[in-house]
DNA sequence: GAGTTTGAAACT
DNA sequence: CAGTTTCAAACTC
């Protein structure tokens, strides 16, 4: 359970776990421990990057959603409304990714993860006597289903684009005041060009940049980092994902050689936005043909109003474990995007790879592993949405959309005062393995 | 600040 | 996979 100081960094007090388990808030949040942590025998520092990475891999192999932000934006509600007053408002449109399991606290204390995240309980919660002031689970259950219905073809007056937008919005919207989150930006050129991109790597507000290059596609991505410190993990991390998750959702940059248009632009110390609003569209893809780009401690938000991605400071974020398939068709049909629209049009992909035309993917292939039987959330509902929305594809020449859930696996973002002291415990492999 | 309670995470 | 243990944060005094 986290506590943080003003700069948004977690502070932990771990004594036994060496800050290498999810008990440790710093570790769980994707941060290295800070000097101000009171932890003992901490291994969660850049010094032990390899150990940290190993541990993270193991945890993710057990629970692909382990490092996913804890709260999700709800369908059909603008996060902007939640942002009006970060300190006072209730992000009523958010919910905890797995729900809580409170028995005694009635979801009225910070023992409750929902309450702690300032979100209401949902029907995914298994809490007893829920009195969550941000919303009792019964209230949210009905709300969600309404929202899902809105995202489907069941409501004929909603346009195709609106439906897509609804889905994208629901998955990408990021309420404030949530768990820090590192977005997973994924890219597929579907066997075409490799691309280069930059992403920032933050230390709770600072953002040393790393250059990465990805090679596509039928293999695990090869990600080269060219950065000053601690960035190797990003590549390693990304490589683990395809093995760990049977499904994923990706951002695609179709036909592009760079995603510069998606580069985060930093405003001040820890506020980022992604400009240039590359046109987005959902495409079909084969899971094996994906390459992933992971950004760091900034999160991307698909802003319905501006039609652009933006990124929020790590402390202000939460996001979904599910991301929509959102390719960047920078050279295609510029008119597809309404200039001021909330919607991203789904384009016909003229140069859609043959393999995609010949091997349509059914939703039966979409699955989300949830090793933690107790609370894996995912995506039943999301996939209901998606499944429903998939009927949309019939409207557009039989295009199939495969939206797969991918666990966010945020690269560690050491706090500004992240530990790098020499007084670290000696690395003992016995402790780590 | 010490002790207790709580529920998530980890383990069996 | 259900039950149990461990853990660290939240809470109380």
Render A346-358 in DSSP notation, one character per residue: PPP-TT--HHHHH
CA distances from A290 to A16, A104, A286, A310, A430 (A): 39, 45, 7, 23, 35
- How many of the other CB atoms lie within 10 Å of CB of A401? 24
The model's confidence at residue A241, banded by pLDDT at 50, 70 and 90, is very low
**Separation between Cα atoms, residue A15 and residue A74, nearest integer Å:** 36
**Tokens read off for A136:** 């009792």
- Nearest Cα to Cα of residue A302 among A162, A169, A407: A169
Res A400: pLDDT: 39
DSSP character at residue A229: S
The model's confidence at residue A65, banded by pLDDT at 50, 70 and 90, is confident
Res A139: pLDDT: 57
Answer whether residue A246 shows pLDDT above 80. Answer: no
CB contact at 8 A, A308 and A343? no
Q: Measured from the CB, is A104 under 7 Å from any atom of strand B?
A: yes
**Separation between Cα atoms, residue A423 and residue A256, nearest integer Å:** 47
- How many of the other CB atoms lie within 10 Å of CB of A270? 24
For the CA of A373 and the C1' of C4, the distance in angstroms is: 16
DSSP strands (E only) in A111-254? 184-187, 195-200, 209-215, 222-227, 251-252
Mean pLDDT, range A5-11, rounded to an integer: 58
Answer whether residue A268 shows pLDDT above 60. Answer: no
The model's confidence at residue A75, banded by pLDDT at 50, 70 and 90, is low
**Separation between Cα atoms, residue A380 and residue A370, nearest integer Å:** 11
* A320 vs A412: which has the higher pLDDT: A412
* A94 vs A48: which has the higher pLDDT: A48
Res A53: pLDDT: 92
Mean pLDDT, range A296-307, rounded to an integer: 34
For the CA of A329 and the C1' of B9, the distance in angstroms is: 42
SS3 content of chain A, % helix, strand, coil (to 5): 25, 15, 60
**Tokens read off for A301:** 């938000």
Percent with pLDDT over 90 in chain A: 12
CB contact at 8 A, A89 and A136? no
Nucleotide closest to A1 measured between CA and C1': C9
Out of A77-86, A116-125, A218-227, least confident range: A218-227
Q: Measured from the CB, is A24 under 7 Å from any atom of strand C?
A: yes
3-state secondary structure of A193: coil
**Separation between Cα atoms, residue A284 and residue A276, nearest integer Å:** 24
Please tell me whether the overall predicted TM-score, pTM, comes out greater than 0.95 for this model: no
Nucleotides of C under 7 A from a protein CB: 1-2, 6-11
Res A41: pLDDT: 92
The model's confidence at residue A97, banded by pLDDT at 50, 70 and 90, is confident
Res A73: pLDDT: 65
Mean pLDDT, range A130-135, rounded to an integer: 89
For the CA of A404 and the C1' of C5, the distance in angstroms is: 35
Q: Which helix (H) or strand (E) holds A190?
A: none
Q: Measured from the CB, is A63 under 7 Å from any atom of strand B?
A: yes
**Tokens read off for A66:** 């382990």
Answer whether residue A13 shows pLDDT above 80. Answer: yes
Q: Measured from the CB, is A63 under 7 Å from any atom of strand C?
A: no
Res A95: pLDDT: 75
**Separation between Cα atoms, residue A195 and residue A41, nearest integer Å:** 41
Mean pLDDT, range A15-39, rounded to an integer: 91
- Nearest Cα to Cα of residue A169 among A75, A239, A84: A75
The model's confidence at residue A234, banded by pLDDT at 50, 70 and 90, is very low
Q: Which of residues 168-207 of A touch strand B (CB under 7 A)?
A: none
Q: Measured from the CB, is A14 under 7 Å from any atom of strand C?
A: yes
**Tokens read off for A272:** 């980022």
- Nearest Cα to Cα of residue A61 among A232, A221, A246, A230: A246
* A13 vs A344: which has the higher pLDDT: A13
The model's confidence at residue A211, banded by pLDDT at 50, 70 and 90, is very low
Res A364: pLDDT: 37
* A196 vs A162: which has the higher pLDDT: A162
Q: Measured from the CB, is A3 under 7 Å from any atom of strand C?
A: yes
* A313 vs A101: which has the higher pLDDT: A101
Res A111: pLDDT: 93
Res A375: pLDDT: 35
- Between strands A251-252 and A326-327, the pairing is parallel
* A424 vs A38: which has the higher pLDDT: A38
Mean pLDDT, range A43-49, rounded to an integer: 91
CA distances from A149 to A143, A295, A382 (A): 10, 32, 11
Res A108: pLDDT: 92
For the CA of A239 and the C1' of C5, the distance in angstroms is: 33
The model's confidence at residue A415, banded by pLDDT at 50, 70 and 90, is low
Rg (CA), chain A: 20
Res A393: pLDDT: 36
Dihedral class, residue A111 (left if φ above 0, else alpha if ψ from -120 to 50, else beta): alpha
**What's the angle, vertex CA A13, arms to CA A11 and CA A17, rounded to 5?**
115
The highest-confidence range among A109-118, A159-168, A327-336, by mean pLDDT, is: A109-118
* A47 vs A207: which has the higher pLDDT: A47
CA distances from A117 to A303, A307, A315 (A): 22, 27, 12
Res A42: pLDDT: 93
Burial A244-264 (b: 16+ CB within 10 A, else e): bbbbbbbbbbbbbeebbbbbb
């Amino acid at each position: 359970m986290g506590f943080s100081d003003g700069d948004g960094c977690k502070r932990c007090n771990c004594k036994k776990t060496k800050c290498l388990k999810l008990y440790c808030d710093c570790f769980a949040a994707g941060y290295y421990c800070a000097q101000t942590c009171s932890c003992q025998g901490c291994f969660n520092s850049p010094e032990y990057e390899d150990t940290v990475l190993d541990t993270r891999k193991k945890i993710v192999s057990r629970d692909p959603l382990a490092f996913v932000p804890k709260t999700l934006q709800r369908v059909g509600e603008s996060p902007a409304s939640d942002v009006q007053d970060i300190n006072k408002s209730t992000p009523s449109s958010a919910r905890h990714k797995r729900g809580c399991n409170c028995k005694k606290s009635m979801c009225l204390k910070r023992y409750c993860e929902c309450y702690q995240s300032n979100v209401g309980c949902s029907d995914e919660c298994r809490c007893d006597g829920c009195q969550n002031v941000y919303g009792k689970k019964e209230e949210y259950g009905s709300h969600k289903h309404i929202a899902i219905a809105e995202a489907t073809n069941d409501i004929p007056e909603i346009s195709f684009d609106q439906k897509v937008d609804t889905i994208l919005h629901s998955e990408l919207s990021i309420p404030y005041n949530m768990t820090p989150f590192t977005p997973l930006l994924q890219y597929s050129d579907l066997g075409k060009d490799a691309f280069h991109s930059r992403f920032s790597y933050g230390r709770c507000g600072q953002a040393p940049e790393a250059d990465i290059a990805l090679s596509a596609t039928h293999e695990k991505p090869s990600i080269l980092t060219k950065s000053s410190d601690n960035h190797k993990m990003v590549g390693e991390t990304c490589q683990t994902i395809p093995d760990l998750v049977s499904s994923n959702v990706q951002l695609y940059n179709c036909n592009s050689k760079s995603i510069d248009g998606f580069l985060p632009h930093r405003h001040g110390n820890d506020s980022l936005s992604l400009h240039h609003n590359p046109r987005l569209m959902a495409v079909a893809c084969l899971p094996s043909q994906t390459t992933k780009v992971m950004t760091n401690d900034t999160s991307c938000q698909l802003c319905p109003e501006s039609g652009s991605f933006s990124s929020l400071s790590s402390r202000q974020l939460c996001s979904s474990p599910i991301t929509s398939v959102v390719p960047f068709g920078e050279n295609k049909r510029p008119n597809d995007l309404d200039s001021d629209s909330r919607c991203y049009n789904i384009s016909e992909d003229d140069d859609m790879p043959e393999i995609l035309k010949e091997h349509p993917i059914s939703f039966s292939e979409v699955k989300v592993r949830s090793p933690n039987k107790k609370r894996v959330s995912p995506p039943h509902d999301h996939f209901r949405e998606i499944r429903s929305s998939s009927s949309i594809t019939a409207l557009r020449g039989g295009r199939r959309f495969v939206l797969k859930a991918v666990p966010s696996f945020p690269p560690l973002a050491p706090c500004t005062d992240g530990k790098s002291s020499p007084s670290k415990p000696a690395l003992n492999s016995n402790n780590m393995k």
